[in-house]
Amino acid sequence: MIEMKDVSKTYPNGVSALNEVNLSIEQGEFVYVVGPSGAGKSTLVGMMYREEKATGGSISINGVYLNKMKERKIPHLRRDIGVVYQDFKLLPRLTVYENIAFALEVIEETPKNIRRRVMEVLDLVNLKHKARHIPDELSGGEQQRVSIARAIVNHPKTVIADEPTGNLDPETSWEIMRIFEEINARGTTVIMATHSKDIVNTMKKRVIAVENGRIVRDEHRGEYGYEA
């Protein structure tokens, strides 16, 4: 469960990006975060994995309070939260296999378990045949599938995605969304900031709308609510 109580964020330059936000997300939910450009979506989801630190209020994930967390504990937190970015953030010199295995090597999994688990997630995203390729040899959609595989390889309880289809064409975006649906169906919480009206309106999930750093709407089976 993720809980935010009166969470605010003012950046060092004085920009107030979030204002006393309250929200609660249960394990296993699928939540879209929508809103105009600059509304505070990235700031909101970034605070859930301590990419951004709140300047007011409290955030907890499964009972762990993120704003009190010491910097050295952050890698530990990230083991339980998978993150997917708009621009994939794959390591360019490593193969697909190595990009995914890396997350398991740092926690000193046995080579046998690493191999089994990497092949399992590659199978889930349908990319076993590209295991030995480097990111540059893949399409955008394939690179995003690798980054999703990397995000879930540790069996995180939560996956946070910040505009994961922002760089992809509509058809490829739907392939990516089917993978997120599958991940969510297995019990993982999925929280996704997006500008995709089509996806939000078709999928009928919980929708949280942010405007000027405040939550202005929180609906189950919600709509995008803005022009695309």
Ligand X SMILES: Nc1ncnc2c1ncn2[C@@H]1O[C@H](COP(=O)(O)OP(=O)(O)OP(=O)(O)O)[C@@H](O)[C@H]1O
Strands (E) located in 100-188? 158-162
- In 10 A of CB 102, how many CB atoms? 16
**By CB under 6 A, what part of segment 109-168 binds ligand X?**
none
Residue 44 token pair: 């909101």
Per-residue mark of binding to ligand X, 37-66 (x: CB under 6 A)? xxxxxxx-----------------------
Residue 105, H or E segment:
helix 96-105
Torsion angle of the four alpha carbons 38, 43, 44, 45, in this order, in degrees rounded to the nearest 10: 110
| 3 state DSSP class of 76 | helix
CB of 221 to ligand X, least distance (A): 23
Per-residue mark of binding to ligand X, 6-25 (x: CB under 6 A)? -----x-x-x-x--------
**By CB under 6 A, what part of segment 179-208 binds ligand X?**
none
Nearer to ligand X, 43 or 189 (CB): 43
Nearer to ligand X, 149 or 161 (CB): 161
Diameter over CA atoms, the chain: 50
CB of 55 to ligand X, least distance (A): 12
Residues of the shown chain interacting with ligand X in the complex, contacts defined by CB under 6 A: 11, 13, 15, 17, 35, 37-43
